Amino acid sequence: MRLFKFEIKERHRQVYRMIMENRFRLYLAMLCSLAIAVSMAAMGYLIEPVIDRIFVDKDIEKLFLLPLLVLAVFTLKGVGMYGHDYFMNYVGESIIRRMREELFDKIIDLPMAFFQKERTGRLMSRITNDVAIVKAMVSTAVTAAFRDFFTIVGLTAVIFYRDWKMALIAFFVLPVAFYPVISLGRRVRRVSTGCQEAMAELSSFLHEAFAGIKIVKAFGMEPHEKKRFKNRTRELFTLELKGVIVRALGSPIMEFLGGIGIAFIIWYGGSGVIKGESTPGMFMSFLACVMLLYEPVKKLSGLNNALQVGMAAVDRVFEIIESESNIQDPVNPRPIKSGAHTVQFDKVNFGYDRDMVLKDVNLEVQKGEILALVGMSGGGKSSLVSLIPRYYDVLEGRVMIDGVDIRDFAVKDLRREIAIVTQEPILFNDTIRNNIAYGNSAASEEDIVKAAQAAYAHNFIESFPQGYETVIGELGGRLSGGEKQRLCIARALLKNAPILILDEATSSLDTEAEALVQKALENLMKGRTTFVIAHRLSTIGYAHRIIVVVDGRIVEEGTHDELMACSGEYCKLYQMQIGNNGGDWVEA
């Protein structure tokens, strides 16, 4: 009979190896478990002399000696329990730390395509909830394997020493009790997987609701979100209740079968005492050992449930850890020459899981050139620039820097040459200084201040009581939109990368903030090969060249005057945005 039925996979062996990395503390925990087992067996054994020598024989010498032995036994048990709990929790916590670190390291290294498919809340649930379940499995399973196993062995030895015939009868019921427990364990694993999935969905929902709280309140959708949350909690409640039912059935079965065994022992052992075949002390010692044995046996039978729940979590965690990234470094990466770069797109075709979004793109951007990309939303502009830092790889064709395929460079070397400023300012809940120096921790105080000054951020930074040491809150929540964007520009300036990507960097700003940011961007673009994605055509007067991207293709290319003369797509965009509103073209 296979006591614990689950397929042993390589990921399970990895968890075992993590456990064995703490083998020294496991050995100490094993010694503590042995001390607990010895004390439990001694407690059962001492019942016979306590009853027969003190209460029956009225031995005065034993009256002083046996209580001291009992005190020593309980002291040994207490020390053993403390040591066992400390060492086992140390092992469990070290495993959860290691697994969380590996999981986070893996997630951070995965390509952008992975993050498009996975929801943030689900990833958070893997790192927090699922890993905690694995830790609980390790603590529960190993505790049962050590402490309860040794306790069972010790008490069993005393039982057979007292009356081996009655012991055989008592142990007949135990194998029978395991069959329904094992069957329930298989259902526990299935239900547990469903619970973990539901918890991940709940985490994802919470992340979305809190991140979009402004929209929720603006549209008065609080009741709607409350209803959605209640639906998810009810689903989780139903699954958790199924798990409770399945897990709870194990104890009543063990209680019933254990009761049968105890009742029979009382009848059989009592008959022996009445007939004079054994003493009351011997019988009570035997009965006490059987009753002490019952609890660790019940815990050991529940080990299957703990393993099934834990293995379901292990599968979910290692599903991420074992994910393969399609963005790989070459075996022998080529070095990237320092200085300005030319960027080329050669017959590039690219798509996600749906239709192709870039089709036969051919483009060359010279060193120091500022190229503006315009077109309607969804045309492929952001996809085009996302290929340069290898957020994604082309399906066909090549993206090249100075004539070399970017796939021939190490990813970290390639991205070191690129600075990006996005439409949505991405900042961290840290000081202004650390946000500017993000990615360049070796930057000096002077360099940080110069970058802030060039980004027109120094004055507003100095207005804060703590200046550059001001903590800006989650996603820079304590700053205005223009202030956040200027910090992002200062960060890009400090990086001093020769290739610059501006992805609608001013589209979400008001006129006053945009003017300051635009001046900061002019400082940032000097001497760099720059790609500018812009919806507002009034912001690209400084561009050396403009391309129009429609449905994944470059349909027009030239300067503002040249494109206006063509009366094509660009002219239509210009007339929609500026001409019809009486706007003026802004020259750099």
pLDDT digits (tens, 9 = 90+) for 287-314: 777 777 767 776 766 676 677 777 778 8
Angstrom distance (rounded) from CA 167 to CA 278: 14
pLDDT of residue 512: 63
pLDDT band of 401, cuts 50, 70, 90: very high
C-beta of residue 452 within 8 angstroms of C-beta of residue 461 = yes
**558: three-class secondary structure by DSSP:** strand
Q: Which of 520, 521, 468, 528 is nearest to 496 (CA)?
A: 528
> Looking at residue 346, what is its pLDDT?
93
Rg (CA), the chain: 35
- Three-class DSSP labels, 218-287: HCCCHHHHHHHHHHHHHHHHHHHHHHHHHHHHHHHHHHHHHHHHHHHHHHHHHHHHHHCCCCHHHHHHHH
Do 346 and 301 sit in the same domain of this protein? Answer: no
Q: 508 and 491: one domain?
A: no
4 within domain boundaries:
no
| Closest listed residue to residue 385, CA positions, set 399, 395, 375, 397 | 399
Residue 587's pLDDT is 38
Burial 509-542 (b: 16+ CB within 10 A, else e): beeebbebbbebbeebbeebbbbbbbbebebbeb
576 and 483, same domain (yes or no): no
Flag whether 328 is in a domain. no
Q: What is d(CA 152, CA 290) in angstroms, rounded to the nearest whole number?
A: 10
Mean pLDDT of the 422-447 span: 85
Same domain, yes or no, for 22 and 132? yes
489 shares a domain with 502: no
On whether both 504 and 490 belong to a single domain, the answer is: no
Residues 371 and 511 in one domain: yes
- Tell me whether residue 505 is in a domain: yes
Q: How confident is the model at residue 409 (pLDDT cuts 50, 70, 90)?
A: very high
d(CA 312, CA 317): 9
Helix 23-49 to helix 60-109 angle (10° resolution) is 160
Residue 284 lies in a domain: yes
- Would 279 be classed as within a structural domain? yes
190 within a domain of the structure (yes/no): yes
Cβ atoms of 181 and 303 closer than 8 Å: no
Per-residue confidence at 254, pLDDT binned at 50, 70, 90? low
Q: Could you say which of 452, 468, 496 is where a domain stops?
A: 496
* Residues 360 and 412 occupy one common structural domain: yes
Q: What is the CATH number of the domain that holds 443?
A: 3.40.50.300
Reduced to 3 states (helix: H, G, I; strand: E, B; else coil), residue 124 is: helix
Is there a single domain that holds both residue 103 and residue 211? yes
Confidence (pLDDT) at 2 = 43
124 and 183: one domain?
Answer: yes
pLDDT in the model for residue 301: 62
In degrees rounded to 5, what are phi and psi of residue 464?
-75, 145
5 lies in some domain: no
Residue with more model confidence, 369 or 221:
369
Q: 384 falls in which pLDDT band (50, 70, 90)?
A: very high
Q: Which residue would you say has higher pLDDT here, 256 or 509? A: 256
Specify whether 487 is located in the same domain as 503: no
> Of 261, 289, 321, which residue constitutes the final position of a domain?
321
What residue type is assigned to position 36 of the chain? I
Quick check: is 577 in a domain?
Answer: yes
**349 beta partners:** 396
pLDDT over threshold 50, residue 208:
yes
The predicted structure's pLDDT at residue 364: 93
The residue range of the domain holding 401 is: 333-417+498-583
Q: What is the mean pLDDT of residues 447-455?
A: 88
The amino acid that residue 203 corresponds to is S
Buried residues in 432-441 as b, exposed as e (16+ CB within 10 A): bbbbbbbeee
Reported as a single tens digit per residue, the pLDDT across 7-35 is 556 666 777 777 778 888 888 888 888 89
Residues 205 and 155 in one domain: yes
Last residue of a domain, one of 496, 516, 550: 496
Of 353-357, 403-407, 456-460, 577-581, give the range with the top mean pLDDT: 403-407
